[in-house]
Amino acid sequence: MAKKESTVYFCNECGFESSKWMGQCPACKAWNTFVEEKVEKKAGMSGHRKHDITDSMPVSFDEINTQSEERTVTGIGELDRVLGGGIVSGSLTLVGGDPGIGKSTLLLQVCKKLSDAGKNVLYVSGEESLRQIKLRAVRIGEMKNNLKLLCETNLGTIEEVIKRTGPDAVVIDSIQTMYDEEIGSAPGSVSQVREATAIFMRIAKELGVSVFIVGHVTKEGTVAGPRVLEHMVDTVLYFEGDRHASYRILRGVKNRFGSTNEIGVFEMKNDGLSEVLNPSEYMLNGKPEDSSGSIVSCSMEGTRPLLVEIQALVSRTGFGFPRRQSAGSDTNRLNLLIAVLEKRLNIPMSDQDAYVNIAGGIKITEPAIDLGIVLAVISSYRNKAIDDKTVAFGEVGLSGEVRAVSLAVSRVNEAKKLGFNTCIVPYGCLESLKEIKGIKIIGVKNIAQAIDLI
């Protein structure tokens, strides 16, 4: 059958398709995101299967069977937490992360756990040979025979293998290596990635197979390819952390079957990824004693309270413009809090550089750590250490007030469990904390009261 070739333009952000280049995408309003690709398709092919009209007839709610939506526990507690309790049958999950972060290792461990539980699993690799996969799997442990490996990048072949073998779960490593013969562009291009994801989504929904696809990320930290890729899948998980360090953080940014606020913490070891059951204790490991510019604060990651060490360094600048830098928290938020200190407490910061770091490499966006940042900055500015057994949390407003935060009971109980004896909390949270014993709880209405305590 003859082929026809055409040039189309895709938006890298949302996947919008156009026959001509445009400076601004009309769909997502992003600028300079269109890329040119040549697409070949067989004449007469529309890219979609023809369905009988009976396949598209509507059904009532009473006729829909939801028993297949029961979750399968993977046996990896941190992953099950992020997924919302386990793997949903027929779901399509995207796992993204930097190269070498441990995406393939995690999914190989998932395959091992599922195969040990008697599930049939198919691992499809487009990047490694069978020998390479087995050498990597030997570190994890002994694999069962119901785990099958396939080295293939042709989407048509992979689809036929899945239909013929009927696995319970499929892992695709990675989506950027897959290609469809009917599309003339190179593997990894926008059109190929989008088409491959659509095929795996159809396989997952029609056959009830749980599919995991690995996606590489760009230098901006997003999955390579169109952002429509994230809209098509059911769940998006990001693996964060420094590949040269031992810790890894699995964060859910989209989940149609659970919460998107949960995180899972792992540690990379010689035998693969190991779960960190107490992340607060892990994050505080190595905290310096009697050191200025250091305090412990508490953030909520979903239903889990997480104690983190906030470090600040304030020093006189050698330039006319002071530098503000933050690692693990929002730099704009740091600028805002320093402006509040200058305006409300008359603390001169215009000739001081300020650096803030969340120890452990975790990224915190919750405003509940505002009070901790303020106290750490003041501690470094005055070169006066804060008591090592003190925890502070609360949101700071532009008037210098300390505002109440949610789930204060869980935060204080976590601090109490780890041996802290003093909690500086917003005054508005005191009523909910009055029944907690064994730890000193101090409520403050503004940052001036909090600074006086230290």
- For 184-218, the pLDDT digits (tens) are 777 877 788 888 999 999 999 999 999 999 987 65
* pLDDT at position 40: 61
How much is the mean pLDDT over the chain? 87
Q: For residue 101, what is the DSSP state?
A: S
pLDDT of residue 1: 44
Q: Give domain status of residue 108, yes or no.
A: yes
Residue type at 117 in one-letter notation: A
Residues contacting 197, CB < 8 A, separation 6+: 92, 175, 213, 229, 232, 233
**Do the domain assignments include residue 65?**
no
Is 404 inside a domain boundary? yes
Highest mean pLDDT among 25-34, 83-92, 187-196: 83-92
Owning domain of residue 394: 284-453
- Write down which residue in 231, 255, 277 finishes a domain: 277
Pairing state of beta strands 17-18 and 3-11? antiparallel
| Residue 419 CB-density burial (10 A; 0-12 exposed, 13-18 middle, 19+ buried) | exposed
Q: Indicate if 258 and 159 belong to the same structural domain.
A: yes
Residue 60 forms part of a structural domain: no
| Between 301 and 446, residue with greater pLDDT | 446
Same domain, 34 and 172: no
For residues 88 and 234, is the Cβ–Cβ distance under 8 A?
A: yes
Lowest mean pLDDT of 190-204, 244-258, 365-379, 401-415, name the range. 244-258
Answer yes or no: do 24 and 76 share one domain.
no
What is the model's pLDDT at position 5? 62
Phi, then psi, of 248 in degrees rounded to 5: -140, 145
Helix (H, G, I), strand (E, B) or coil at 398: coil
Q: Summarize the chain as % helix, strand, coil (round to 5).
A: 30, 30, 40
Q: Of 13 and 296, which is predicted with more confidence?
A: 296
What is the domain count for the chain? 3
The pLDDT value given to residue 182:
83
pTM of the model: 0.76
DSSP 405: -
Assess whether pLDDT exceeds 70 at residue 50.
no
Which domain CATH number covers 132?
A: 3.40.50.300
Residue 234's pLDDT band (cuts 50, 70, 90)? very high
Alpha helices for 20-152 (secondary structure H): 77-83, 103-116, 130-140
